[in-house]
């Protein structure tokens, strides 16, 4: 079970979640819903309580399957979903209809955290935030988030929300060891300054940060006869190698090392790896049972620093 200290806050919204959440964008892609129920149960039994979905994931089936999990297990969890500001959606009514549809799919009266999925729309950020404030006032959502917003867009959104006395809870952006742009483009800094959670999507770069993906790395982490023999290792191979080495020393997996690095990077970061496998779900939960030490953190940081830019 996850320790008390392994929880993080969604900004100053008052909502506390396990330091790692789980993404569900591939849930309901296959036909085996029972396997997903098992994943959900294993995660909540292990103390992971933060689930990320969106109306556009698997055309609403991700939301519906997550809703079915809630109905089946009646466990207290924190649910995040997202409004997609598609080019044809320009009215407040369309926003509310989409939110109502998500509430219906999930089978809940309130969504804990509701994001604007991306900033590319003819609607102004101010208008979007006014709609979010209406949704909070109507009791349909508890906290407001944005996703894929840059630092300037985040600040604009936070300023508008402040007019409504609502804090921005989170900005969900892509962040992992081979995509460290949030550290350089001002998003991580803005999250710290505004006290907003940085929810890290694709924390495993879609499964690229996992065991046995180093071209040519042997079990000792050194180049094998079939690998990058004679060539300098690529930037990604350098990251993979140090992850493999630490994983082996710790008796953990590469994915766990990669997730733990993100957790240690900043207290505002909450990674949300996506999984459809019970084995991976248990591994994700176990990530919270141990931490990297200073030397391990620094070695990974150095190997992946070219990815900051
Ligand atoms: N806001 C946005 O625009 C946006 C965009 C993309 C994604 N997201 C959110 O972010 C979540 C995560 O992103 P993602 O799923 O695209 O990428 P990801 O989390 O980086 O990687 C998922 C991949 O990693 C594998 N995996 C998970 N845990 C593992 C483990 N312990 N060991 C080895 N492999 C493991 C999964 O396979 P298995 O299924 O077999 O476990 C899957 O292939 C999504 O589910 C979604 O909720 C948001």
Mark whether 57 is an active-site residue.
yes
Is pTM beyond 0.85? Reply is: yes
Which residue puts its alpha carbon closest to atom 14 of ligand 1? 202
CA of 27 to the centre of ligand 1 (A): 11
Q: Which of 204, 214, 262 to mutate to test the pocket of ligand 1 (most atoms within 8 A of CB)?
A: 204
Tokens representing 76?
Answer: 């207290």
pLDDT, residue 28, reads: 83
- Cα separation, 241 vs 256, whole angstroms: 14
Atom number of ligand 1 nearest to Cα 206: 21
pLDDT, residue 1, reads: 74
The residues, ordered by sequence, that sit 6+ positions from 302 with a Cβ below 8 Å of its Cβ are: none
Q: Please determine, for residue 239, whether its predicted confidence score (pLDDT) is greater than 50.
A: yes
Ligand 1 within 6 A of 18 CB?
Answer: no
Would you report the helix, strand and coil content of the chain in percent, each value rounded to 5?
45, 15, 40
The mean of the pLDDT values for the chain is 93
Report which secondary-structure segment, H or E, holds 78.
strand 78-83
Q: What is the CA radius of gyration of the chain?
A: 20
pLDDT tens-digit readout, 3-37? 777 999 999 999 999 999 999 999 987 778 999 99
- Tally Cβ neighbours within 10 Å of residue 98: 19
Ligand 1 within 6 A of 29 CB?
Answer: no
CA of 205 to the centre of ligand 1 (A): 7
Ligand 1 within 6 A of 105 CB?
Answer: no
Query: Are the CB atoms for 132 and 114 separated by under 8 Å?
Result: yes
- Tally Cβ neighbours within 10 Å of residue 226: 9
């Amino acid at each position: 079970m996850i320790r008390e200290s392994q929880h993080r806050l969604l900004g100053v919204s008052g909502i506390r979640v396990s330091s790692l959440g789980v993404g569900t964008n591939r849930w309901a892609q296959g036909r085996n819903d029972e396997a997903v129920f098992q994943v959900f149960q294993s995660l909540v039994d292990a103390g992971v309580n933060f689930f990320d979905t969106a109306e556009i994931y698997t055309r609403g089936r991700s939301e519906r399957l997550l809703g079915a999990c809630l109905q089946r297990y009646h466990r207290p969890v924190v649910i995040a979903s997202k409004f997609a500001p598609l080019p044809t959606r320009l009215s407040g009514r369309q926003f509310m209809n989409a939110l109502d549809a998500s509430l219906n799919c999930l089978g809940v009266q309130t969504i804990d955290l509701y994001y604007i999925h991306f900033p590319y729309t003819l609607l102004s950020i101010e208008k979007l935030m006014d709609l979010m404030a209406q949704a909070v006032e109507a009791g349909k959502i508890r906290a407001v988030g944005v996703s894929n917003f840059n630092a300037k867009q985040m600040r604009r959104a936070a300023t508008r929300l402040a007019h409504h006395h609502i804090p921005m809870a989170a900005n969900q952006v892509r962040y992992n060891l081979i995509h460290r742009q949030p550290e350089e483009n001002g998003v991580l800094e803005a999250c710290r300054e505004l006290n907003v959670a940085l929810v890290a999507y694709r924390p495993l770069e879609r499964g690229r940060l996992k065991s046995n993906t180093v071209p040519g790395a042997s079990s000792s982490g050194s180049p094998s006869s079939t690998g990058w023999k004679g060539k300098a290792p690529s930037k990604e191979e350098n990251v993979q190698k140090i992850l493999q080495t630490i994983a082996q020393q710790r008796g953990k997996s590469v994915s766990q090392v990669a997730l733990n690095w993100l957790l240690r990077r900043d207290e505002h970061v909450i990674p949300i790896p996506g999984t459809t496998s019970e084995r991976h779900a248990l591994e994700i939960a176990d990530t919270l049972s141990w931490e990297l030490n200073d030397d391990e953190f620094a070695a990974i940081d150095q190997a992946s620093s070219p990815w900051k830019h």
